[in-house]
Amino acid sequence: MRSAPRHPTTPRPAARKRTPSLLHRCLVEHLHVWRFLIPTASLLALCLVLAHRQAPRRPTLADLIQALSSPPTPELPWWKRLFTDLRPRRPPQPARRRDVASDSGELRAVPDSVPPMTPEQIAFRQFTLAQLIMAQRFDRTEREALSAVSTVPFNGPFRHYEQNRFLTEMLWLRYLDRIDREATARGIRKHALAALDYPAANFEDRLNAGVGLLLTGDAERAIPQLQAAVDQWPAMDRMRGNAYLALMAAHAARDHHRQTLFMLAGFQRNFPDWLNVENYLPDLIDLEATYDNPLLALVHGRILQLVHDFQGASEKYRDALDRGLPPSAASMARHWLSETGEVQP
Amino acid sequence: MTLPTLVLCCWSSLLIFAWMLRGKFYWRPAPLDLIVLCIAAGALCTVPALLCNAFLARETELWAFSPNRLHSLLGILIGPGMGEELCKMAAGLIALTLVRRDPGPAGRMLGMVVVGLTFATVENQIGYSELGVEGLTRRGITAVPVHGAMGFIHGLGVNRAWPEHRALPLFAAYIASVVFHTAWDTISIQMPAYSTAALAALLAAAAGWSVIVWRSTPEVDQLLLEAGSRP
C-alpha cells in the first residue's frame, strides 16, 4: 500500500526565466565575438611587435631638429611621442592684414604676417631650407638633398605642401643653371600648383605657380596667380618686382595691351632690380620665343631703352611695329622710338 | 575646437545617419540605447587606432608615407587596414553584446555604421582639422562615406554571424574591410596620378553597394520570422 505523500503535491508555479547577467551576456552568449576578437587582436599585436623588431625606426623629427643645431630638445619617452599625435590640430588661422597704398593711391590690404605654423612644420621647413642651401653651395648634390628630405619620417597634412615647395625651389636652382629648361619648367609648374592645394599656400606659392604656368605657355592661367602674388606681397622688394615683371609679361603674352602699357609706366617703381637687365632679360627672351607676341618685343625694347641701350631698343620697337601692334601700343612704340633718336617708320 | 570645424568634421556623418534612419525602423523603433553606445564606442576606439598608426609612423619604418613602396604598403595594411578596422569592429561588437534587447538586423547594421561614422568624425577632428574648409569638405565626401561603407561590410558580417553565433562571417567581414581600406589608402597615397579617377570609381561602387545592402536588410531576423510561422 502506497503511503500518502508527506507534502501534498500542489502544482508548482512555472519557474521564471532568469535574466542573464551582463557578464554572462557578454562572455557566454556572445562567445563567437571573443572567438573573433582574441585571434585578430593577437595577430595585430604580433604584426606590431614584428614591425618594431624587423623594421626599427628612423631618426624622428626631434633627431633632425637636434642635428640642425637648433636648441636641443630632450628625447621624449615613446608613449609621450605617440600621444602627441592625438592632440587635435588647430585649423590654419588667416594671416593678419594691414592696409598699404597701391600704385594708384588706393589702400589695399596685404598680409601682415605669414600664417602660423606648427612646430613640426617649422622644423620640416628648416630642414628643407638647410638642404636647399647646401645644394645651392654644392655642398651636397640634388639627389642627396632630395633623398634626405624624402626620408624625414613625419606624417602631417602639411608634408605634401612642404615637399612641393622644396621641389619647386630645387627645380628653380636647375632652371637658373639652364639645365633642361623645358622639362624643368614643367616640373616647377606641376609642384607649384600642387603646393597651391594647401589652404595655407601664400604669395610665394602663387608666384611660383604663376611663373611656372607662364614659362610653360599658359599665360591665361598665370595672370590670376601672379596678380594675387603682386597684391599679397608684403614688401616692395626684389621678389615682388619679379612677380610684377612676370605679370607684365603674362599680360603682354595674352595681348592685353592696356594692362601692359600701364604696367610698363610703373616698371621702375615696382621693380627695384630693373637696372640689372642681365639678370632677367634672358627669361624675357625665352618668353618671346614661347609666345611670339609683338607686345613682348615692345616690353623688351622699353626695358633696353630704360638702361640707355638705344640701338637695341630701336631694333625691338621696329620689330614690334613690323609685326603689328594694337593702335595705342603702336602709338607708344612710335613715341618711344622717336626718343631713341631713330627716324620713325 | 570651434563650432564650424566640428560641423565640417561631422556633416556627412550626420547626413548618412539621417538617411539610414529615414528608410527603416517602421516595424520596430530605432535602438536608441545601441546608437548611444555605438557613438561612445566609435569615439573611444579612435584612440587605440590612431595610437597604432602613430606607433608605426614614429617607431618603425612601416610608415604609410614612406618613399619605400613596400614599407608604405605594409604600413597601410597594418595601421589603417588591420588596426583601424579591428578597433571599429571590436567597438561595434562590444556595444552589441552590451545591449539587453537584440536590435535586429537593421539595428545591428545601423550600430556598426554609426561606429564607422563616429570614428571618421573623431579622426577628422584629431588628425585633419588643420586642413581647413576645402580639405574637410573633401574628406566629408570621400573618407567619411568610405568609413560608413566599411561599417556596412562589418554589419553584413555581424548579421550573418549573430543568429547562429558563428565567428566565421566576422573574420570574412574583417578581411574584406581590411582589403578595401588598404586598397583605398594605397591608391590615394602611392598612385597620385590615377587616384582621382580610381577613388571616384571605388567610392561610387562602395556607395552603390551600401545602398543595396541597407535596402535589403530586414528589420527582423529571418530565422525569427520562420520560427514564428511554424505551427
Cα–Cα distance, A136 to A205 (Å, whole number)? 20
| pLDDT score of A144 | 76
**How far does B194 lie from chain A, in Å, by closest CA?**
15
| pLDDT score of A1 | 45
SS3 call for A100: strand
Q: Could you tell me if A229 and A270 are in contact, meaning their C-beta atoms sit under 8 angstroms apart?
A: no
- A58 with B61: Cβ contact below 8 A: yes
Q: What is the mean pLDDT of chain B?
A: 88
In a mutagenesis test of the B interface, which of A47, A75, A81, A87 is the best target, namely the one with the most B β-carbons within 10 Å?
A47
Q: Could you tell me if A151 and A58 are in contact, meaning their C-beta atoms sit under 8 angstroms apart?
A: yes
Residue A44, pLDDT > 90, answer yes
Among B53, B59, B134, select the one facing A57 at the smallest CB separation. Answer: B59
Q: Could you tell me if A195 and A201 are in contact, meaning their C-beta atoms sit under 8 angstroms apart?
A: yes
From the list A115, A111, A116, A140, the residue with the least C-alpha distance to A128 is A140
| pLDDT score of B228 | 56
Is some CB atom of chain A closer than 8 A to the CB atom of B72?
no
State how far the alpha carbon of A101 is from the alpha carbons of A226, A248, A259, in Å. 19, 20, 19
Return the minimum-mean-pLDDT range out of A47-56, B124-133, B180-189.
B124-133
pTM higher than the cut 0.90: no
CB-side exposure of A293: number of CA atoms within 13 Å?
22
What amino acid is encoded at A89 in this protein? R
Q: What is the pLDDT of residues A157-189, one digit of tens each?
A: 677 788 888 889 888 888 888 778 888 889 899
From the list B76, B54, B57, the residue with the least C-alpha distance to B179 is B76
Cα–Cα distance, A277 to A288 (Å, whole number)? 16
**How far does A110 lie from chain B, in Å, by closest CA?**
21
State how far the alpha carbon of A15 is from the alpha carbons of A11, A12, A18, A307, in Å. 12, 8, 9, 109
User: Which residues of A are less than 8 Å from B137 in CB distance?
Assistant: none
**How far does B87 lie from chain A, in Å, by closest CA?**
9
SS3 call for A117: coil
Q: Could you tell me if B48 and B121 are in contact, meaning their C-beta atoms sit under 8 angstroms apart?
A: no
**Residue B25: band (very low, low, confident or very high) from pLDDT cuts 50, 70, 90:** confident
Residue A11, pLDDT > 60, answer no
Q: What is the pLDDT of residues A91-129, one digit of tens each?
A: 444 545 555 555 555 555 555 555 567 777 788 888 888
From the list A191, A217, A170, A209, the residue with the least C-alpha distance to B192 is A191
State how far the alpha carbon of B71 is from the alpha carbons of A55, B49, B58, B65, B207, in Å. 9, 19, 13, 9, 30
From the list B64, B165, B149, the residue with the least C-alpha distance to B112 is B149
Among B60, B133, B135, select the one facing A56 at the smallest CB separation. Answer: B60
User: Which residues of B are less than 8 Å from A44 in CB distance?
Assistant: 52, 78, 82-83, 86
State how far the alpha carbon of A157 is from the alpha carbons of A68, A152, B70, B127, in Å. 23, 14, 21, 8
User: Which residues of A are less than 8 Å from B53 in CB distance?
Assistant: 85
User: Which residues of A are less than 8 Å from B157 in CB distance?
Assistant: none
- B58 with A88: Cβ contact below 8 A: no
| pLDDT score of A345 | 46
Nearest chain B residue to A25 by CA distance is: B97
User: Which residues of A are less than 8 Å from B47 in CB distance?
Assistant: 86
Q: What is the pLDDT of residues B35-89, one digit of tens each?
A: 999 999 999 999 999 999 888 887 888 878 777 788 889 999 999 999 999 999 9
Q: Could you tell me if A290 and A215 are in contact, meaning their C-beta atoms sit under 8 angstroms apart?
A: yes
Q: How much of chain A exceeds pLDDT 90, in percent?
A: 21
Per-window interface: B 1-30 vs A, CB < 8 A: 1-2, 5
User: Which residues of A are less than 8 Å from B108 in CB distance?
Assistant: none
Is some CB atom of chain A closer than 8 A to the CB atom of B64?
yes
**How far does A157 lie from chain B, in Å, by closest CA?**
7
| pLDDT score of A156 | 63
